[in-house]
């Protein structure tokens, strides 16, 4: 999906920084970033991703989405966990969930 969005991303020149912006429509930016509308507006408000108005459309800069993803903290493990420990740590179901019941 990201490749399709990338193919359709419009580019604009940012005269202040002399680089190209990879702009896509709002819904495509959300899909690319793997977040919903509410989260996108929150990220824009906190200046974590950049958005621009083009006519009546809100366009999201994919470069800023990539920068946001790169800024996310990495999840560190505490050594090798078995499935049950991982399940307790993440409150999710393990891949072998049926075997543990």
Reported as a single tens digit per residue, the pLDDT across 4-53 is 555 556 655 555 655 788 999 999 999 999 999 999 999 999 999 999 99
Looking at residue 86, what is its pLDDT? 57
| Predicted local confidence at residue 20, as pLDDT | 84
How distant, in Å, are the alpha carbons of 8, 20, 88 from that of 14? Answer: 19, 6, 47
User: What pLDDT does 41 receive?
Assistant: 97
Q: What is the pLDDT of residue 43?
A: 98
DSSP state of 80: -
The per-residue pLDDT for 101 is: 46
* Closest listed residue to residue 68, CA positions, set 18, 32, 28, 92: 32
Q: Where are the beta strands (DSSP E) in 29-74?
A: 51-54, 57-61
- What pLDDT was estimated at residue 15? 59
């Amino acid at each position: 999906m990201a490749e399709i969005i990338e193919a359709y991303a419009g580019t604009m020149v940012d005269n202040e920084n002399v680089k190209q912006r990879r702009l896509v429509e709002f819904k495509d930016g959300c899909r690319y970033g793997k977040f919903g509308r509410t989260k996108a507006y929150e990220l824009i408000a906190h200046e974590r991703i950049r958005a621009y108005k083009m006519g009546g459309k809100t366009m999201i800069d994919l470069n800023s989405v990539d920068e946001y993803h790169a800024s996310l903290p990495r999840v560190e493990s505490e050594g090798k966990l078995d499935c049950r420990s991982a399940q307790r740590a993440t409150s999710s179901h393990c891949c072998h969930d049926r075997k543990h019941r």
